[in-house]
Structure 1
Amino acid sequence: MPTTLPALPGPPPDPHSYAAASPLRPTHLHLALTVDFASCTLAGTATWHLAEPPLAATELVLDTRDLLLDGVGLGPAPTGPAATYALAAAADPVLGRALRIAVPAGTAAVRVAYRTSPGAAALQWLAPAQTAGEHPFLFTQSQAILARTWLPCPDSPGCRFSYEATVELLGAARGQLLALMSAANNPQATAPDGRYYFRQPHPVPAYLLALAVGRLDFAPLSNRAGVYAEPVTLGAAHHEFADLERMVLAAEQLYGPYRWGRYDLLVLPPSFPFGGMENPCLTFVTPTIIAGDRSLTSLVAHELAHSWSGNLVTNGTWNDFWLNEGFTVYFERRIMEQLYGRPYADMLQVLGEADLQHTLQTLGPASPATHLRLHLAGRDPDEGLNDVAYEKGCLLLLALEQLVGRPRLDAFIKGYFNQFAFQSMDTDRFAAYLSQVLLTPAGAARLDLPAWLDGPGLPPGAPAARAVRFEAVAGALGQLAAGTPPAALLPSTAAWSSQEWEYFVRNLPPTLSATALGQLDAAFHFTATGNAEVLAAWLERATAASYFPAEAALAAFLRRVGRRKFVVPLYRALLAVPGGPARAQAIYALARPNYHSVTTGTLDELLGWPPSPPAV
């Protein structure tokens, strides 16, 4: 049972939501949608139910961006009276426009009829040529504040609501395509009438609303877990994720029961901008983690861990993003340790810390962007979220583990998830809770929590990982630097894992010539590897060295894959070499239609898109 605690600080205001300050907070959504692939739009009604009818007239504020309103009414019935409402005249480019609805006393619900715009930022409509089959595809990506582009809602992680939805497919999609949401998707065949019903009984924030529609099949992995994918991908996906139920059991043994019913994966087309998205009951994953040898499934462990850290206890605002991601990275690596051993988890930790060090160097030693507590007001939060929240947050938990011991930290984390289940948490409230429950005054002084939360970089004495299995890789790199031919290293590298190869490629001497890279490629076939992590690291190095035999693979990878983690560094590498900017522009012109808006939002700025017309 949750513990009774002294009062914690109140939640801070959310700088990214008009609705977060609304006098009324809706607690349940009934969503009725039609999906029209012909016009690339959604249309329907969002009915927001209030916890209690207000005793006096007040207003409900919802977040919207680029939505077309068809009317606003009072009460749950379509025949209810029209409501008085106002939509802000000027749209903020990031926040959109506040929808303010006058709510008379005694009103139980408010209905908003609306349509999305064809360019709604959360929605990606894929033509058949952009999928693995012969049918179109739709998926949403609502994090961080894009839910407001496909329904009027309180689009703040601090606002939670349960929901039910009816989704109807129009036109040729009816009877051909399957609809799924971040709810209980009982394995089902495609509905002949194109109508689907969903119910999510647990309160979730708007960024965890998700919808996908495509030609999808399902394969079970256990009684409560399975995978959806396009038919041509399903077999490989089913093999790749065979350990999913073992992951769920390991997570439960660590931090308590999985509370969401089913846990299924949906493999999306490769344009998906992230590695994964932890939508409740239905994690979205990129096909770039299907390597054939189950070597990249730590990403699935990460998204599963979000079922506790993020979905169960959610960051109150995007300034508190580290509370979602730092806990999740720590939890992910504990799952992987439990399944595959400490040496395996140590490799993941070392690679993660290397990513963090690169980010800290890029941002600068004094940058406030290296604090755990962020200050994102006035910015698109999606552009301010980086490895700091993930890896520095994880290191804070490792520092706590060193300070109090793993058993006490595990008990604390398990109690934290139980105490604040289906609630939101911000940095100040977490710091107060940590001090009340886990830290003694002496422990707090040794930890120096303010330096972690509001200081730049890493505090002195921050944990540093060591991976025994990387020592052999370092030895091979040393041999290479001493002049050993790459082919002579083949016997000692035969049993290397994906992580060892990634470490090898990342740590190749930066001065290697294109000729030297050619020798490596001839021995290890990096340009032809099917492992996306290794390939992306290799292509970045090959681009920097102007290793021309990899150019075709680079162009093909950038045109096929929209995962921002991969494509942004590769375009940056192109921009840094002679002739690279023109090549980057040419590739981007072909690839951009395949990218989600989350990716193009970053790349348009990086590449100066659209390019200026030539001078006359």
Structure 2
Amino acid sequence: MKISLISKLPLFLAAGVLSIACQSKKETAPETPMTSAPAKATDIHSNADPKEARVKHLHWKAAVDFDEQVIRATATWEIEASADADLITFDTKGLTIEKIQTDTDTTAEYRLSEPDAILGQALAVLIQPTTKSVTIQYRTNPGAEALQWLSAQQTAGKKQPFLFTQSQAILARSWVPCQDSPGIRFTYDAEVTVPPALLALMSASNPETRNKTGVYTFEMKQPIPSYLLALAVGDLSFKSISPRSGIYAESSIVGKAAWEFADLEKMIAGAEELYGPYQWERYDVLVLPPSFPFGGMENPRLTFATPTILSGDRSLTSLIAHELAHSWSGNLVTNATWNDFWLNEGFTVYFETRIMEKLYGRDYAEMLASLSLQELKEEIKSLSDAEHPADTKLKLNLASRNPDDGVTAIAYNKGYFFLRTIEEQNGRDKFDQFVKDYFTQNAFKVMTTEAFIPFIRDYYQKQYNITLNDSLFEEWIFGEGLPISCAQPQSTRFDAVDAAMTQWKAGQKIEPLVTSWTTHEWLHFINHLPDSLTPAQLKDVDALGHFTASGNAEILSAWGVIAIRDQYTPAYAKIEDFLIHTGRRKFLMPLYSEFIKSEEGKKLALAIYAKARPNYHFVAVNSLDKLLGRS
């Protein structure tokens, strides 16, 4: 890439400082002791230096080219610079920079650092303290990590191509030059041109129908971090759920999706009753093609969701409750760095569970909590067996690592049980008031673990005269594994499943007992099957639950692990089809991991992966390449 020659000495000096700063960020960051004073967090996963100059608002004008699989765009950033600023630094990865200007039309000098496998390239632009805007003309790379380009055949409708983005954690820099840190917020507006047959959507105000020009405009008035930037383009339709919520999906499944999410408005209203007003105006859901690597992504105003939750019985809608809860936890109050990821996800799982309890009752929520605890224990064992016990702490140290490594059940479920412990030890009413005030007082701000601890301590001391002891934080936040103080969810419906399991193990028929079981009860049953099953037992339990024939992704994934473990070959064809046509990493990793435990299984896994890999997003491929030895 051509590097602009920079003649001014200050920028050479600044670039040198930048280089040193980038190197220091890759060193192992010492853990901050619990007793230290809160400080502004340094984000080791961004090259930006917001103390010198930071972005405030983005004007984005883009054209989406499906033939070349690139986006050609101009990003004009309104900025705020310190009194002695001489440069502003952006994060980029794989972008071709064509021209940069400051303010109206002044050609700017700039420098790109050497590429880093994780961080990409720092883009340092020469400015003055009085500079108000930086305009960057650029195009993306066909292999941009955040972008997934799908052919028509990879969609539900099979007629039009599809594009969607996944910016979390640090992939926004691969499609927009930005200060790619969760600690830096900005507002934005956009004009996006797409083929006229397609509809464009963003994490902003959105159209409900396509127009003849293919030109769409967007506005996000509330400040967001870069990981919440989102774009989707496809043959999409919209169905309204309520005056402030609705469903986008491909035309062939939008009706099914709208039926599945019929309780969406009830969820929003229930969430508001718990923890305060929804502050993003609309809440819509976009159901993406199967290659989407996550269950959901909490893009403001437009949650991205996997089609694997379309179970046909509304049993998996807790995922939507989770993404809705992010409208408070994460989107409203955001982890300052990815080392503090648990602050986003722990609060969100807690909030999600409370929404589900409010709508469907305590026992339903306790089933969800029980499954979360089972998942958490398995994650802790897996990380400990893999010699990564430090990753079982809530406060992470991801120096020199991809922040995606922190996306585990630890942040989600250990974070949830930590907060539930405080609730149970000191009273739900007190905790509810704390959470409501936590969101209100920190709205549109960031939070670190080191700032959270004195915040909750001071709150409980001043409001309730309750002292939260050091041991609570040491065990849960800075300690490895699962503290003995962890709550134990109690579900009468799961008690009934356990009783049926005992009868089944004794050889008794239990068919009449299972007729009313939901997805959660079947998952609990599968999770508590014996460590090994005979061929006869496998056939019997498959006939009991119709697992191999199931269209429920949660059940099929859990059953698939058992089937692979015990070499139940009648399920292999269904598992292969599932792996090829499902991109959700939560399901892919356990199935491939189980296959590779044997030499024969590894051969089969690699053969399946060769067929499936083109259908997966970078996020899934990045994890699976490492798992299968292709990195």
| Residue of 242, 245, 249 corresponding to 1:229 | 249
2:558 is aligned with 1:533: no
Instruction: Kindly indicate whether the alpha-carbon contact (under 8 Å) linking 1:322 and 1:373 is maintained by their aligned counterparts in 2.
Output: yes
Shift, 1:495, TM fit: 0.6
Shift, 1:466, TM fit: 1.9
**Residue 583 of structure 2: SS of its match in structure 1?**
coil
**Further displaced range: 427-436 or 592-601:** 427-436
Structure 1 partner of 2:79: 50
Shift, 1:57, TM fit: 4.9
Residues 8 and 445 of structure 1, relative CA distance in 2, 3 Å threshold: closer
Question: 1:42 and 1:144 mapped to 2: Cα distance?
Answer: 20
Instruction: Kindly indicate whether the alpha-carbon contact (under 8 Å) linking 2:71 and 2:139 is maintained by their aligned counterparts in 1.
Output: yes
Instruction: Kindly indicate whether the alpha-carbon contact (under 8 Å) linking 1:20 and 1:158 is maintained by their aligned counterparts in 2.
Output: no
Structure 1 partner of 2:515: 494
Residue pairs, 1:172-191, within 5 angstroms: 174-187=195-208, 189-191=209-211
Residues 20 and 391 of structure 1, relative CA distance in 2, 3 Å threshold: farther
Structure 1 partner of 2:315: 295
Shift, 1:201, TM fit: 0.5
Structure 1 partner of 2:377: 357
2:182 is aligned with 1:157: yes
Question: 1:239 and 1:183 mapped to 2: Cα distance?
Answer: 24
Structure 2 partner of 1:99: 123
Deviation digits for residues 93-141 of structure 1 (CA, Å, limit 9, x no counterpart): 0000100011124211000111100000000000011110111000000
Question: 1:361 and 1:56 mapped to 2: Cα distance?
Answer: 51
Shift, 1:445, TM fit: 2.0
Structure 2 partner of 1:9: 38
| Residue of 542, 551, 571 corresponding to 2:572 | 551
**Further displaced range: 358-367 or 571-580:** 358-367
Instruction: Kindly indicate whether the alpha-carbon contact (under 8 Å) linking 1:147 and 1:155 is maintained by their aligned counterparts in 2.
Output: yes
* TM-score after normalising by structure 2: 0.92
Structure 1 partner of 2:531: 510
Structure 2 partner of 1:614: none
**5+ residue gaps, structure 1:** 1-6, 611-616
| Residue of 469, 493, 513 corresponding to 1:469 | 493
**Further displaced range: 362-371 or 382-391:** 362-371
Instruction: Kindly indicate whether the alpha-carbon contact (under 8 Å) linking 1:22 and 1:59 is maintained by their aligned counterparts in 2.
Output: no
Structure 1 partner of 2:89: 61
2:348 is aligned with 1:328: yes
Question: 2:471 and 2:324 mapped to 1: Cα distance?
Answer: 29
Question: 1:26 and 1:242 mapped to 2: Cα distance?
Answer: 39
| Residue of 436, 442, 445 corresponding to 2:469 | 445
Deviation digits for residues 211-237 of structure 1 (CA, Å, limit 9, x no counterpart): 000000000000000000001111110
Please tell me the residue identity of whatever aligns with 2:271: A
| Residue of 537, 541, 564 corresponding to 1:520 | 541
Please tell me the residue identity of whatever aligns with 1:114: Y
Question: 2:471 and 2:237 mapped to 1: Cα distance?
Answer: 50
Question: 1:357 and 1:556 mapped to 2: Cα distance?
Answer: 29
Question: 1:94 and 1:234 mapped to 2: Cα distance?
Answer: 37
Instruction: Kindly indicate whether the alpha-carbon contact (under 8 Å) linking 1:22 and 1:61 is maintained by their aligned counterparts in 2.
Output: no
**Residue 63 of structure 1: SS of its match in structure 2?**
strand
**Residue 213 of structure 1: SS of its match in structure 2?**
strand
Shift, 1:462, TM fit: 2.0
Question: 1:230 and 1:15 mapped to 2: Cα distance?
Answer: 39
| Residue of 370, 391, 409 corresponding to 2:431 | 409
Structure 2 partner of 1:385: 407
**Residue 222 of structure 2: SS of its match in structure 1?**
strand
Structure 2 partner of 1:369: 391
Structure 1 partner of 2:25: none
Residues 38 and 506 of structure 1, relative CA distance in 2, 3 Å threshold: same
**Residue 62 of structure 2: SS of its match in structure 1?**
strand
**Further displaced range: 516-525 or 500-509:** 516-525
Please tell me the residue identity of whatever aligns with 2:87: E
Question: 1:445 and 1:74 mapped to 2: Cα distance?
Answer: 52
2:326 is aligned with 1:311: no
Question: 1:48 and 1:262 mapped to 2: Cα distance?
Answer: 26
Deviation digits for residues 435-494 of structure 1 (CA, Å, limit 9, x no counterpart): 11114786322762122111111223221212211011111111111112xxx3111111
Question: 1:418 and 1:54 mapped to 2: Cα distance?
Answer: 29
Residue pairs, 1:554-565, within 5 angstroms: 554-565=575-586
Residue pairs, 1:266-305, within 5 angstroms: 266-305=286-325
Residues 391 and 57 of structure 1, relative CA distance in 2, 3 Å threshold: closer
Shift, 1:146, TM fit: 0.3
Structure 1 partner of 2:596: 575
RMSD: 1.5
Structure 2 partner of 1:253: 273
Instruction: Kindly indicate whether the alpha-carbon contact (under 8 Å) linking 1:544 and 1:577 is maintained by their aligned counterparts in 2.
Output: no
Deviation digits for residues 157-201 of structure 1 (CA, Å, limit 9, x no counterpart): 0000000011011xxxx22000000011142x2121110100000
Instruction: Kindly indicate whether the alpha-carbon contact (under 8 Å) linking 2:341 and 2:406 is maintained by their aligned counterparts in 1.
Output: no
Structure 1 partner of 2:67: 38
Question: 1:301 and 1:9 mapped to 2: Cα distance?
Answer: 32
Shift, 1:255, TM fit: 0.2
Question: 1:346 and 1:386 mapped to 2: Cα distance?
Answer: 21
Question: 1:85 and 1:516 mapped to 2: Cα distance?
Answer: 67
Question: 1:331 and 1:297 mapped to 2: Cα distance?
Answer: 14
Instruction: Kindly indicate whether the alpha-carbon contact (under 8 Å) linking 2:164 and 2:232 is maintained by their aligned counterparts in 1.
Output: yes
**Residue 267 of structure 2: SS of its match in structure 1?**
helix
Deviation digits for residues 274-312 of structure 1 (CA, Å, limit 9, x no counterpart): 000000000000000000000000000000000000000
**5+ residue gaps, structure 2:** 1-35
Structure 1 partner of 2:484: 460
Question: 1:462 and 1:494 mapped to 2: Cα distance?
Answer: 33
Please tell me the residue identity of whatever aligns with 1:519: D
**Residue 25 of structure 1: SS of its match in structure 2?**
strand
Shift, 1:370, TM fit: 0.8
| Residue of 136, 140, 148 corresponding to 1:124 | 148
**Residue 198 of structure 1: SS of its match in structure 2?**
strand
Shift, 1:20, TM fit: 4.2
2:95 is aligned with 1:71: no
Deviation digits for residues 321-373 of structure 1 (CA, Å, limit 9, x no counterpart): 00000000000000000000000000000000100000111112981111110
**Residue 409 of structure 1: SS of its match in structure 2?**
helix
Question: 2:543 and 2:425 mapped to 1: Cα distance?
Answer: 48
Please tell me the residue identity of whatever aligns with 2:535: A
Residues 57 and 22 of structure 1, relative CA distance in 2, 3 Å threshold: closer
Shift, 1:54, TM fit: 5.5
Please tell me the residue identity of whatever aligns with 2:307: P
Instruction: Kindly indicate whether the alpha-carbon contact (under 8 Å) linking 2:49 and 2:88 is maintained by their aligned counterparts in 1.
Output: no
Structure 1 partner of 2:10: none
Structure 2 partner of 1:606: 627
Structure 2 partner of 1:3: none
| Residue of 38, 41, 55 corresponding to 1:26 | 55
Please tell me the residue identity of whatever aligns with 2:553: A
**Residue 482 of structure 2: SS of its match in structure 1?**
coil
Residues 313 and 57 of structure 1, relative CA distance in 2, 3 Å threshold: closer
Number of paired residues?
A: 591
Structure 2 partner of 1:613: none
Please tell me the residue identity of whatever aligns with 2:618: S
| Residue of 143, 162, 165 corresponding to 1:137 | 162
Question: 1:8 and 1:263 mapped to 2: Cα distance?
Answer: 37
